[in-house]
Structure 1
Amino acid sequence: MGGEYNMALITVEQRDRVAVLRLSHPPVNALSFSLLQELDRALTEAIENHTVRALVITGDGMFFAAGADIPSFLQMGAGVKDFLAYGVALFNRIEQCPKPTIAAIGGPALGGGNELAMATDMRIASDAARFGQPEVNLGIIPGWGGTVRMPKLIGRSQAARLLLTGEAIDAQEALRIGLIHEVVPAHLLLDYAVNQADRLAALPPLALQAIKKLLVDPGLGQAAETDAMSDLMASSDAAEGIMAFLQKRRPEFRGQ
């Protein structure tokens, strides 16, 4: 990766150990099939780039992402099922990404945009952000994990309110119910998110991967946690972390 480069609908910038993936599909960063394909490619490149240790996903302009591209969506006919399946697979990849992911949400994240944000590990928003799943107002339902991830994040009761009414909520309400983690001033949002990602990038990659795997699939249970802990204790990173603690110095983790 290195530096910055542009696809047609995604801009990718590397800031030290953090890859910033910016949706650039004006005016509202609608999630077209082409945008999803570019995001998929950018995700793959960030995962395969060993100098990248964390990712930030954000939107260009005044929107994070305002859901699926409705005009193209309506023209798909029988192809809509493939479009939905592609989005589901991509958002699952983001959720299961071996590197920590943060959504920096500076504007509305609606429909598929909210589903994209929910697939990340952490969500940081500005006061201009709004969140919702308005699909019911169009006679449809979320198709990229909205009814699956939202109850896990905020509980069935709050998820039912948002999903059944199609209501959009502001950043403070999203923070109150646990949909997002922090609200920061708009002019600080991206730098703050990158700084948080850089903090994660300094942590041991193998331990982060193990935690993410256990969080994504809680059904793995205690035995899986015990096995993961045992494996990590034999890693070079664990030896480095323990030695650095005893020597009162900052550890240098290598993912080994």
Structure 2
Amino acid sequence: MIHDKDEPMSEVTLAPSVGGATGVFETLTFDDLGDRVVVALDRPARRNAIDAAMIAELHEVCARIEADPKPLLLTGTGEHFAGGADIAELRARTRSDALAGINRTLFDRVARLALPTVAAVSGWALGGGAELAYACDIRIGTTTARFGNPEPGLGILAAAGANYRLPSLVGTSVAKQMLLAGRVLDAETALQLGLLAEVVEPGEHIDAAHVVVDRILRSSPLALRLTKTILDAPGTHAFADDIAQAVLFETEDKHDRMTAFLEKRA
């Protein structure tokens, strides 16, 4: 289902949790709209803190999207995106848990999803919540959005992607201010730095994220997949661009899209 910007969005409200291969989701709401998947972190009483159960259920979400690729819109229930990882669980984790990269493995999987991902952020996105937002391709925020990584204050570090994603998103200097000096970015600053693509009023972020997904869906799925793969690959890769373009030049989809463009212009 495609949702135009001027179309009422009432039918896009998040559906109740649905059952999956591992049973009913308890920490998320999941809504497959056909052309996109909408997922909300759903522990509002705990500011959507990311616990082990949520990690497992987000792996299930990734498995579903990997089997049937489509854009993902990720948000949080209530006033906040995610206030961080569950501190009680973190306190109990051991060296072996750290070496397993429990949160990092999931967030890297989210980042590797074939088609673009859009995070709709309101309120706090702290610690692991911020790192989950960093793993998405595009972020839309409300004026209440706040991003921060206070992990060193708890005796740990931001080990779920912030150290290698945040510098490319906001620059090394600002990343060090956040990761070493506890700086929290408000929505306007995050917009100026490019961490947010757009800032909207509270309550409008999910609609705004749907508009972004609408634009994404107007493009060729294969072109999007190849573009995202090349963008996320380390180093320079001019020859990979040529190979990807060669593949796309031979597709029927490219011919049909260009024919439609030329006929419309004529």
The answer, yes or no, to whether TM exceeds 0.5 is: yes
Paired residue for 1:108?
124
Which residues in structure 2 correspond to 1:6-21 (within 5 Å)? 6=18, 7-21=25-39
- Rounded Cα–Cα distance in structure 2 between residues aligned with 1:159 and 1:215: 21
**8 Å contact kept, 2:72–2:117:** yes
- Rounded Cα–Cα distance in structure 1 between residues aligned with 2:33 and 2:204: 16
Identity of aligned residues (%): 36
Q: Structure 1: which 4+ aligned runs deviate by more than 6 Å?
A: none
Note the C-alpha offset of 1:93.
1.5
- Rounded Cα–Cα distance in structure 2 between residues aligned with 1:78 and 1:22: 30
2:47 is the alignment partner of 1:35 = no
Paired residue for 1:183?
199
Note the C-alpha offset of 1:107.
1.4
**8 Å contact kept, 1:158–1:177:** no
Note the C-alpha offset of 1:142.
0.3
The 3-state SS of whatever aligns with 1:58 is strand
**8 Å contact kept, 2:17–2:26:** no
The 3-state SS of whatever aligns with 2:237 is helix
AA matched with 2:17: Y
The 3-state SS of whatever aligns with 1:161 is helix
TM-score by length of 2: 0.87
**8 Å contact kept, 1:57–1:104:** yes
CA deviation map 1:112-169 (0-9, x unaligned): 1111001111000001110011112122210101110000111111111111111212
AA matched with 2:67: E
AA matched with 1:8: E
AA matched with 2:89: S
Paired residue for 2:154?
138
- Rounded Cα–Cα distance in structure 2 between residues aligned with 1:231 and 1:198: 25
The 3-state SS of whatever aligns with 1:180 is coil
- Rounded Cα–Cα distance in structure 2 between residues aligned with 1:71 and 1:169: 25
Which residues in structure 2 correspond to 1:28-107 (within 5 Å)? 28-49=47-68, 53-81=70-98, 85-107=101-123
- Rounded Cα–Cα distance in structure 2 between residues aligned with 1:16 and 1:184: 26
Paired residue for 1:254?
none
**8 Å contact kept, 1:18–1:198:** no
2:207 is the alignment partner of 1:203 = no
CA deviation map 1:51-109 (0-9, x unaligned): xx3110000111101111110111123443256x1322221121111111000001110
Note the C-alpha offset of 1:12.
0.6
Structure 1 spans left out of the alignment, 5+ residues:
250-256
Partner of residue 119 from structure 1, selected from 102, 127, 135: 135
TM-score by length of 1: 0.90
Which residues in structure 2 correspond to 1:224-239 (within 5 Å)? 224-239=240-255
Structure 2 spans left out of the alignment, 5+ residues:
1-14, 19-24
| RMSD between superposed Cα atoms in Å | 1.8
The 3-state SS of whatever aligns with 2:235 is helix
Paired residue for 1:24?
42
Closer/same/farther in 2, CA of residues 41 and 82 from structure 1, 3 Å limit: farther
Note the C-alpha offset of 1:43.
2.0
AA matched with 1:19: V
AA matched with 1:206: L
